[in-house]
Amino acid sequence: MTVRDTVRWAATHGAMRLATRVRARSGNPDAEVLLDPLLREDPYGTYERLRTPAPFAAGAFARISVHHDVCTDVLRSDDFGTLGGARTDGLPAVLRLALRLAGPRATVGPIDPPSMLAVDPPEHTRYRRLVSRAFTARAVAQLRDRTRQIADELLDDLADEAAAHDGQVDLVARYASLLPVTVISEMLGVPVAMREQFLAWGDGAAPSLDMGLDLSAQQQVERSLAELESWFREHLQRLRREPGEDLLSALVGMADDDGSGLTETELLATAMLVFGAGFETTVNLIGNGAAQLFAHPDQRRLLAADASLWAGAVDEVLRIDSPVQRTARRARRDTTVHGVPVAAGELVVLVLAAANRDPEVFPAPDEFDVRRANARDHVAFSSGIHFCLGAALARMEGEVALQALFERFPDLAPAGPPQRRSTFILRGYAAMPVRLTPAGSTPEAAPGQLPVPA
> Is residue 447 domain-resident?
no
Element of type H or E holding 7: helix 3-9
- 162: pLDDT strictly greater than 90: yes
How far apart, in Å, are the Cα atoms of 117 and each of 128, 183, 221, 272, 353? 10, 22, 17, 12, 19
- Return the amino acid letter for 125: T
Q: Binning pLDDT at 50, 70 and 90, where does residue 96 land? A: low
| pLDDT at residue 110 in the model | 81
| pLDDT at residue 241 in the model | 92
- 102: pLDDT strictly greater than 90: no
> Is residue 301 domain-resident?
yes
54: burial class by Cβ within 10 Å (0-12, 13-18, 19+)? middle
| pLDDT at residue 238 in the model | 93
> Is residue 47 domain-resident?
yes
> Is residue 450 domain-resident?
no
**Shortest CA distance to 12 belongs to which of 177, 260, 218, 189?**
218
Question: What is the β-pairing status of strands 335-337 and 80-81?
Answer: unpaired
As a dihedral over the C-alpha atoms of residue 110, residue 15, residue 60, residue 124, rounded to 10 degrees, the angle is -20
| pLDDT at residue 14 in the model | 87
What number of other Cβ atoms are within 10 A of residue 240's Cβ? 10
> Is residue 440 domain-resident?
no
Q: Kindly report the pTM of this predicted structure.
A: 0.92
Q: For residue 340, what are the β-bridge partners?
A: 337
List the domain range (segments joined by +) for residue 326: 3-435
**Shortest CA distance to 251 belongs to which of 231, 230, 272?**
272
- pLDDT tens for 245-296 read 999 998 888 744 455 678 889 999 999 999 999 999 999 999 999 999 999 9
Q: Nearest 5°: phi and psi at 336? A: -130, 150
Element of type H or E holding 433: strand 433-435
Q: Binning pLDDT at 50, 70 and 90, where does residue 376 land? A: very high
| pLDDT at residue 439 in the model | 45
* Top-confidence residue, 92 or 24: 24
| pLDDT at residue 259 in the model | 55
Is 430 strand, coil or helix?
A: strand
- pLDDT tens for 229-243 read 999 999 999 999 999
| pLDDT at residue 451 in the model | 38
| pLDDT at residue 248 in the model | 92
- 39: pLDDT strictly greater than 90: yes
Q: What percent of the chain has pLDDT over 70?
A: 90
Taking residues 88-104, what's their average pLDDT? 57
- 143: pLDDT strictly greater than 50: yes
Contact (Cβ atoms closer than 8 angstroms) between residue 413 and residue 443: yes
Is 116 strand, coil or helix?
A: helix
DSSP alpha helices (H): ranges in 296-309?
A: 297-305
Q: How many domains does the chain have?
A: 1
Taking residues 203-208, what's their average pLDDT? 94
* Top-confidence residue, 3 or 80: 80
Q: Binning pLDDT at 50, 70 and 90, where does residue 434 land? A: very high
- pLDDT tens for 392-417 read 999 999 999 999 999 999 999 999 99
CATH number at residue 10: 1.10.630.10
> Is residue 451 domain-resident?
no
> Is residue 80 domain-resident?
yes
Q: What percent of the chain has pLDDT over 90?
A: 78
Q: Give the whole-angstrom CA distance, residue 376 versus residue 198.
A: 30
> Is residue 453 domain-resident?
no
| pLDDT at residue 101 in the model | 62
Most confident of 6-15, 101-110, 267-276, 362-371: 362-371
